[in-house]
Chains A and B, each alone.
Chain A
Amino acid sequence: MNTTLTLPTRRPVPGVFVALALTLAIGWLVVALDGGHLFNQSTTVSLLHVAAGLGLVAVGQTLVVLGGSLDLSVAYVVSLSTLVAAETMAGSNGRLLPAVGLVLAVSAGIGLLNGVLVTKLKVNAFIATLGVGLLLKGYLDNGYDGPAGETAPALVRGLGYQRIGPVPVSFLLLLAVAGAVWFALARTRFGHHLIAVGGDPEVARLSGVRTDRVLVTAHVLCSLCAGLAGIYLASRLASGAPRVGTEGLYDLESIAAVVLGGTALAGGRGGVVGTVGGVLLLASIDAIFNQLEVDAFAKQVVRGVIIIAAVAVHARRTLRREAS
């Protein structure tokens, strides 16, 4: 139980990057045998776009999972954020900033609700965030049948489609957010406290950590990240989409990326670097399937299997570590 002493960033690079390299190598070979090319411009760009959307959510999810909690409401927060952004902007560049502000305020509010339910009312995180997700789902189902609102053209051109070489601006945004979170975890008191809370809440509390406050902050940051992902998706789709979060499976996929990245679901161990690796891995698998023109439904089956297998492998490793 030395988890509170070791900082996540000082651990060796997680195995996910090995898996990523292997996946890309095998994928490249299979796609080449199929007569295609995995690393051409358009595939790389779309891979990084997929990674940007999922990555923003997953980086936030890393924080709550590290703290021993989790957030299943992110998919609905993403959908809601696209709508709030697009409807507030209503196609005018002048309302870009107020819209972004409103999205962040709404998502922070949802994160606060999640955090309070988990810490003050002691609702287990799975149920609390599921319940909040259902509340949002009802609001979305009731109010929206299809796309609504219009994203400001400047945002669509900028965050949505602008890129530097093959790297989209949105991916740079992801790297910036991930960098900020890495800094917060490795170098700030909040980060150290969060990992302590995830390792053992009781020990953290006895050591003088305000556990509730730390966990609520993590939930707020997680929802803020989901809100950012919503803004990004609104800029890609040029309007608000009430189902984009659930159809993109952002809840399950973000948790999968976190686990693939080596963060323990029980909390206290892991970090954001691995999560970015997990996101790239999932996005690469997606890109390879697209190149091979695998049926969308078959893709879903394989995704389900991969997610379960990834967690199972990780659980096995943890068991071994505990046994030794």
Chain B
Amino acid sequence: MQLTEDRHRPLRPARWRPRPGGVAPIVGLLVLLLVLVAIRQPDFLAPPSLMSFLGRSAPLVLLAAGQYFVIVSGEFDLSVGSLVTAQVVVAARLIDSDPSRTWPVVALLLAGGMLVGLVNGLVTTRLRVPSFITTLGMFLILVGAVYLWSDGAPKGGLSEEFRRFGRRAFEDVPGLGRVPYALLVLLVAATLAVLLMRSDFGRTLVAVGDNPRTAELSGVRVWRTRTVAFVLSGLAAALAAILLGGYSGVSFQAGAGLEFGAITAVVLGGVALGGGRGSVVGAMLGALTLETLFVLMNFYGVSGALRSTVQGAIILAAVAVSGLRSSSR
């Protein structure tokens, strides 16, 4: 199985082309989609609806950032959707509508997300199980465990305190109107992600994805770096679960399909599968673009059930284009 693409390209910068992994193409696409949305529904770009759109998109953007860390290091995480579901159901049962339990449960969710990421990372790196098997297996385990634990139907309920992260907003902000808490959480997380990628760790992560052998020989502990990437993905899933639980409530469908959404967003953002190329900003913009596309589909009355077809088409198109581009060089 070729999980890494051929990188033996001659070093010949013949003519100008967008820097591979740069964010220019995705920004262009996002602007184009926003214009299309604005033509159909001019109100959409007004601050109130734009703010709530950004807040609503926060979970997918967070998941895309988490998935980016894993993908850029050369692996995949297919367990994030089930992790979100598990976290939401667990939170509801533990809080059981008791506001005083909110903060302990939030801490527990963050720790739980990191623990799942740690297990994914260690099984993948130390036991040498391909990451898609590890994380698909984790998917089965999490979904099975959460159903088992709750006897097939979600129990308990989230406290209002817990739900405010995903639901409430700062009212009456001058010029913007409502600013959802979710948007603030997103901005903080995004800033941290960008800073992280500019740090030594970020460079190491990309180096590991680009060529694990070289990284290993340069003294990087590849397994440790990749494991940290999985932990970050688990953490991002926990944050997304807290926001989603507040926004859309408790159900076994809370996280269904989010792993595919996150991978689509990352690919759309110009990140090379197999690792080593692309930026976290691109991945997050990819998630925003995907959400904008869904909004556009909605405005044009396209059935929501076609979302996965759209995602599949995007994944194939993006990967095929980058494959053709690299082989034509």
How many residues does chain A have at the interface if contact means C-beta atoms less than 8 Å apart? 49
Question: Which residues, 260 to 295 on B, are CB-close (under 8 Å) to A?
Answer: 260, 263, 267, 273-274
Within 8 A of A (CB), among B126-180: 127-130, 132-134, 136-141, 143-145, 147-148, 152
Asked whether any CB of chain B lies closer than 8 Å to the CB of A307, the reply is: yes
When distances are taken between beta carbons in the complex, the residues of chain A under 8 Å from B128 are 312, 315-316, 319
Kindly state the separation between the CA atoms of A141 and B61 in the bound complex, as whole angstroms.
Answer: 24
B147 / chain A contacts, CB cutoff of 8 Å: 297, 300
Once the chains are docked, how many angstroms separate the CA of A136 from the CA of B293? 19
Instruction: Determine whether the beta carbon of B313 is less than 8 Å from that of A131.
Output: yes
Q: A132 near B316 (CB under 8 angstroms)?
A: yes
Contacting A301 at CB < 8 Å: which of B5, B148, B273?
A: B148
The residue from B123, B136, B148, B263 contacting A312, defined by CB atoms under 8 A apart: B123
* A282 adjacent to chain B (CB < 8 Å): no
- What DSSP secondary structure best describes chain A's contact surface? helix
Cβ–Cβ contact B323 & A125, under 8 A: no
Whether a CB of chain B sits under 8 angstroms from the CB of A11 is: no
Counting CB contacts under 8 A, is B324 at the interface?
A: yes
Verify if A133 is at the interface (C-beta below 8 Å from B): yes
Q: For window 211-247 of chain B, which residues contact chain A by CB distance below 8 Å?
A: none
Instruction: Contact check, A307 vs B133: say whether CB atoms are below 8 A apart.
Output: yes
Query: Is A124 in contact with B3, judged by CB distance below 8 angstroms?
Result: yes
CB < 8 Å neighbour of A137 from B129, B312, B323:
B312
Q: Is A1 an interface residue (CB 8 A)?
A: no
**Once the chains bind, are B308 and A137 in contact (CB under 8 Å)?**
yes
Chain B nearest CB: distance from A269 CB in Å? 13
Q: Could you tell me if B144 and A255 are in contact, using CB atoms closer than 8 angstroms? A: no
Tell me if B's interface is mostly helix, strand, loop or mixed. Answer: helix
With contacts A123-B319, A128-B316, A315-B129 taken as known, whether A142 is within 8 angstroms of B305 at the C-beta atoms is yes
Interface residue? A164 (CB, 8 A) = no
Contact between B307 and A299, CB atoms less than 8 A apart? no
- List chain B residues, Cβ under 8 A from A29: none
- Chain B nearest CB, measured from A161 CB (Å): 30
Instruction: Closest B residue to A122 by CB, please name it.
Output: B323
Residue numbers in A under 8 Å from B309 (CB-CB): 134-135, 137-139, 142
A141 to B136, CA, bound (A): 21
In the complex, chain B residues whose CB is within 8 Å of the CB of A132: 312, 316
- B127 CB to nearest A CB, Å: 4
Q: Are B140 and A312 in contact (CB-based, < 8 A)?
A: no
Instruction: Provide the A117-153 mask, 1 if CB < 8 A to any CB of B, else 0.
Output: 1000111111110111111111101100000000000
In the complex where A121-B324, A134-B315, A308-B129 touch, is A297 in contact with B306 (Cβ < 8 A)? no
- State A318–B3 Cα separation when bound (angstroms): 18
- Are A297 and B145 neighbours in the complex by a CB distance under 8 Å? yes
Given contacts A134-B315, A135-B313, A137-B308, contact A126 B140 (CB under 8 A): no
Give B residues with C-beta under 8 Å from A: 1-3, 5-6, 76, 123, 127-130, 132-134, 136-141, 143-145, 147-148, 152, 260, 263, 267, 273-274, 303, 305-313, 315-316, 319-320, 323-324, 327
New A-B contacts (5) at CB < 8 Å, excluding given A136-B312, A305-B137: A122-B324, A131-B313, A133-B312, A301-B148, A308-B134
8 pairs of A and B residues whose beta carbons are closest in the complex: A138-B309, A134-B312, A300-B144, A304-B140, A135-B312, A315-B128, A301-B144, A304-B141
